[in-house]
Amino acid sequence: MKSKAVATPTRTKEILKTYGFSFKKSLGQNFLIDVNILKNIIEEAGIDQTVGAIEIGPGIGALTEQLAQHADRVVAFEIDQRLLPILEETLEGHNNVNVINQDILKADVERVIKEHFEQGQQVRVVANLPYYITTPILMKLLMDRLPIDSITVMIQKEVADRMAASPNTKSYGSLSIAVQYYTEAEVVLNVPKTVFMPQPNVDSSVLHLEMRTAPPVQLEDEEFFFDVVKATFGQRRKTLMNNLARHFKGEMDKQEIRDRLEKVGIDPSRRGESLAMEEFASLANVLYK
């Protein structure tokens, strides 16, 4: 008889009881207990028999088990040692899974990809990420420019909305620009808190990030571009002019900033949230010296 999927309330409770496992708040552990949602995530992530999958924080293996059934190979990074014997049991019979007991933020992910996947194989990241560390993990994956094709993650709804936001919306900010510079971002699924154990205090969303093959804008200097973007959102209610004057104090006076903005046709009285990525690029390039 085929044993029940890990992602069911009864099987999850059973596993936790057998191992006397208690959730660590500091690790943001919330396990998924709904198989249909996991299947949706795998579909949205584009996982099939040809794909190599990387998972972050497999927990007791709810998503890992589903990935193992659909992907060619799975590599999962788990920081909590207490979960290793549990994963050994729940993933028994899946010989295409490797669990690495390491903090993803400290891991050499590029080396792991080279070691575990075929050269030229599509590699996709799929994870139910701990809320408290979502942004650092995603920014590491993006900024390290890893050979991955996409990232599909379950994260806090509010953060997913910010990462996929368009100009002139409340959620749009420097995080939207940072994520969309590297990827095409889309919220593909909203998930109620009832499908987790323990239940978190907030709702979740699944965010799909398709990696760009080239940056969407031409920049004089990437780091300077991100600095300028951050500065324009420094105080959201203030104009571009005010935020930039504050940022460049001692380097550029207001008149010089005004002249440069006018040169690229950007009104100094606009606010950061009204600028599209292309306008931010023009702005950063004209201010760069």
Binding-site residues for S-adenosyl-L-methionine sit at 30, 32, 57, 78, 103, 128
Total residues found in the chain within this entry: 289
Closest by alpha carbon to 165, among 285, 44, 274, 43? 274
Q: Are 17 and 120 in contact (CB under 8 A)?
A: no
What's the sign of the alpha-carbon dihedral 43, 46, 52, 53?
Answer: negative
Positions at the binding site: 30, 32, 57, 78, 103, 128
Q: What tokens were used for 231?
A: 């500065």
